[in-house]
Amino acid sequence: MPRSPIRAPKPTLDLSDHLYVFRQPVPGELASGSDTGSELPFPEVPPTITSETVFGNDRPLEIEVGSGKGLFLTNESERNGEHNFLGIEIIHKYAKHSAARLAKAGRSNAKMISGNAQPLLADRVPAGSLEAVHVYFPDPWWKKRHRKRRVVNEGSVQSFLTALRSGGRFHFWTDVLDYFEATIEMIAEIAPEFGVPIPEEKSPSSHDLDYRTHFERRSRQNQIPVYRVRYEKR
């Protein structure tokens, strides 16, 4: 199913408090739309990513990998004002769209990074520092030879595990059964510290944007089954 087009935010909207860029070359196919062109005013990602360096306080930090249009961050940062939320999105126009959503909603506890989440989580997030990692509806990369591009893979699972505090959560939802089963199997094998997957329930939705993410909304509205789990680091 193709993604619906998104509107670019008004150039007058100030995103400088809500958008960082991570200037690192990304693989060709993922990079479409990631050119930041002449938009140099956005700050660079700090060398170390913590609540202190990004938000200037010490509240628990939750990171979402692949935020798309930013529905999760917008809703969750309102529901849980005591935590900080940082979204990382590799396609620049989506990162900007999500940052615009957060700026318009006046969120001070949620920001975006435009860039590749994998090196950021592996290299810039201190061990044992995160409250949660969220990955919702990652790109499936159906072809076998492309599977190594999946954002939930052996390397990223190790990074999530290292970055999470003890008791910290990793949420993984997808509508691709093969991705779901392969991930559950892989985690059991390489990351026993995550224990067993804990099933998560869908929430009743009371209005059109009352879903965990846009892709959850799309799947539910099209009666496509969704597989939802959470892990808690031991």
Ligand X SMILES: C[S@@+](CC[C@H](N)C(=O)[O-])C[C@H]1O[C@@H](n2cnc3c(N)ncnc32)[C@H](O)[C@@H]1O
Q: Does 89 belong to an annotated binding site?
A: yes
With CB under 6 A as the contact rule, the residue among 51, 55, 68, 176 that binds ligand X is 68
With CB under 6 A as the contact rule, the residue among 86, 90, 157, 187 that binds ligand X is 90
Least CB distance from residue 89 to ligand X, whole Å? 5
With CB under 6 A as the contact rule, the residue among 20, 22, 137, 160 that binds ligand X is 137
Q: What is the DSSP string of 31-93?
A: GTT---TT-TTSPBPPSS-SHHHHHSS---EEEEES-TT-HHHHHHHHHTTTSEEEEEESSHH
Burial of 212 (0-12, 13-18, 19+ CB in 10 A): buried
State how far the alpha carbon of 212 is from the alpha carbons of 43, 125, 159, 178, 233, in Å. Answer: 28, 25, 24, 21, 22
Q: Tokens 């991930």 belong to which residue?
A: 183
Name 110's bridge partners: 85
183 binds ligand X (CB under 6 A): no
89 binds ligand X (CB under 6 A): yes
Contact (CB, 8 A) for 67 and 98: yes
138 binds ligand X (CB under 6 A): yes
Query: Which stretch, 42-50, 65-73, 157-165, 187-195, contacts ligand X (CB under 6 A)?
Result: 65-73
Query: Which stretch, 12-20, 97-105, 164-172, 213-221, contacts ligand X (CB under 6 A)?
Result: 213-221
159 binds ligand X (CB under 6 A): no
Gap between the Cα atoms of 54 and 84, Å rounded: 9
The three-state secondary structure class of 174 is strand
Query: Which stretch, 39-47, 62-70, 177-185, 187-195, contacts ligand X (CB under 6 A)?
Result: 62-70
With CB under 6 A as the contact rule, the residue among 18, 42, 45, 66 that binds ligand X is 66
211 binds ligand X (CB under 6 A): no
Query: Which stretch, 44-52, 83-91, 187-195, 199-207, contacts ligand X (CB under 6 A)?
Result: 83-91
Contact (CB, 8 A) for 182 and 142: no
94 binds ligand X (CB under 6 A): yes
Q: Does 215 belong to an annotated binding site?
A: yes
Q: Is 58 a catalytic residue?
A: no
Q: Does 213 belong to an annotated binding site?
A: yes
Q: At what angle do helices 177-190 and 154-163 cross, to 10 degrees?
A: 60
Please name which of 4, 7, 9, 34 lies closest in space to residue 22, comparing C-alpha atoms. Answer: 34
Catalytic annotation, residues: 139
Which residues sit in the known binding site for S-adenosyl-L-methionine?
64, 89, 116, 139
Contact footprint for ligand X (CB under 6 A): 30, 65-68, 88-91, 94, 116-118, 136-139, 151, 213-215
Which residues sit in the known binding site?
64, 89, 116, 139, 143, 175, 213-216
